[in-house]
């Protein structure tokens, strides 16, 4: 018909109609139009809350925001030890301490909750008593330490007194010399000078009455040691000022090294 091309319902006119098949390309809800729509699949690339938009917020594709990365690398608390392992760790520490150690210090060293330490220590102490060991675990001076039982004091005293009649070992003599010339000095300083652990030797010197505690170091709180009056009596000296100079007893190479470093 002559009027067909201009009619709104003709086939050719369907190209400009909003609901025609060809016209779907420009419609906001059509498949092609989804590319620019803010809530469509393709439009997610620019959306701030979409998965692809997260990459733009972080600045690096595939990585989490900086705040999340910091949370991921935060140090995790130490795993909680079971009762058997905690008991063994406490016994090992108490075996080497030379003064009472508090529950808080033990908890910090083992990275455990402080409220767990006391009950385990009580259980250890009760176990030692029930087993009839020659030593016991007691609370004293705000902490815990292993002690020999009073009923065995006579045997311990005999052992200590018999030991005093024996000659000092070379290690004991060296340790005594360090204390005599460096006093007052801490246990750690003595060990550093000698290059070996001096705990056992120092206890021997204290038990022999040649060395005694004389306060604590202000900075570290470590015990200070000095020689006793008995030490002076054994050497026939009036004071430590009468000790001979240390330099004549040093090897020549040590003196040369000292001169070179001045």
Rg (CA), the chain: 41
Can you give the pLDDT at residue 236?
81
Report yes or no: 134 and 149 within 8 Å, Cβ to Cβ.
yes
Tens of pLDDT, residue by residue over 43-68, are 444 444 444 444 444 445 555 555 55
What are the beta bridge partners of residue 186? 224
What is the pLDDT averaged over residues 184-199?
90
Can you give the pLDDT at residue 256?
47
CATH topology assigned to domain 168-260: Arc Repressor Mutant, subunit A (1.10.10)
In this prediction the pTM is: 0.42
How buried is 68 (Cβ within 10 angstroms: 0-12 exposed, 13-18 middle, 19+ buried)? exposed
Can you give the pLDDT at residue 211?
94
The CA distance from 183 to 116, in Å, is: 41
Would you place residue 77 in the very low, low, confident or very high pLDDT band (cuts 50, 70, 90)? low
Tens of pLDDT, residue by residue over 115-135, are 999 999 999 999 999 999 999
CATH code linked to domain 83-151: 1.10.10.10
Would you place residue 258 in the very low, low, confident or very high pLDDT band (cuts 50, 70, 90)? very low
| pLDDT exceeds cutoff 90 at 30 | no
Can you give the pLDDT at residue 41?
44
Can you give the pLDDT at residue 249?
52
| pLDDT exceeds cutoff 50 at 200 | yes
Residue range(s) occupied by CATH 1.10.10.10 in the chain: 83-151, 168-260
What is the pLDDT averaged over residues 14-24?
44
Can you give the pLDDT at residue 64?
53
Can you give the pLDDT at residue 76?
63
Name the nearest CA neighbour of 9 among 19, 30, 24, 27: 19
Question: What average pLDDT does the structure give for the chain?
Answer: 74
């Amino acid at each position: 018909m002559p009027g067909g091309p201009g009619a709104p319902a003709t086939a050719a006119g369907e190209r400009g109609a909003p609901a025609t098949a060809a016209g779907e390309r420009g419609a906001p809800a059509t498949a092609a139009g989804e590319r620019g729509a803010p809530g469509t699949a393709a439009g997610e690339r620019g959306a701030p809350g979409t998965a692809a938009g997260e990459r733009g917020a972080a600045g690096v594709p595939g990585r989490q925001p900086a705040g999340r990365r910091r949370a991921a690398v935060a140090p995790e608390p130490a795993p909680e030890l079971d009762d058997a392992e905690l008991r063994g760790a406490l016994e090992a520490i108490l075996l080497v301490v030379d003064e009472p150690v508090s529950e808080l210090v033990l908890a910090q060293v083992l990275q455990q909750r402080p409220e767990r330490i006391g009950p385990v220590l009580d259980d250890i102490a009760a176990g030692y008593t029930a087993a009839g060991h020659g030593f016991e675990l007691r609370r004293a001076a705000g902490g815990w330490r292993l002690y020999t039982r009073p009923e065995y004091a006579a045997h311990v005293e005999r052992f200590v007194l018999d030991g005093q009649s024996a000659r000092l070992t070379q290690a004991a003599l060296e340790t005594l010399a360090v204390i005599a010339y460096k006093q007052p000095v801490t246990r750690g300083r003595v060990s550093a000078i000698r290059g070996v652990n001096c705990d056992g030797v120092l206890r021997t010197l204290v038990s022999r009455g040649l060395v005694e505690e004389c306060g604590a170091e202000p900075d570290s709180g470590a015990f200070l040691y000095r020689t006793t009056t008995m030490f002076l009596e054994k050497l026939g000296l009036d004071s430590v000022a009468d000790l001979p100079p240390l330099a004549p007893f040093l090897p020549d190479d040590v003196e040369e090294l000292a001169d070179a470093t001045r």
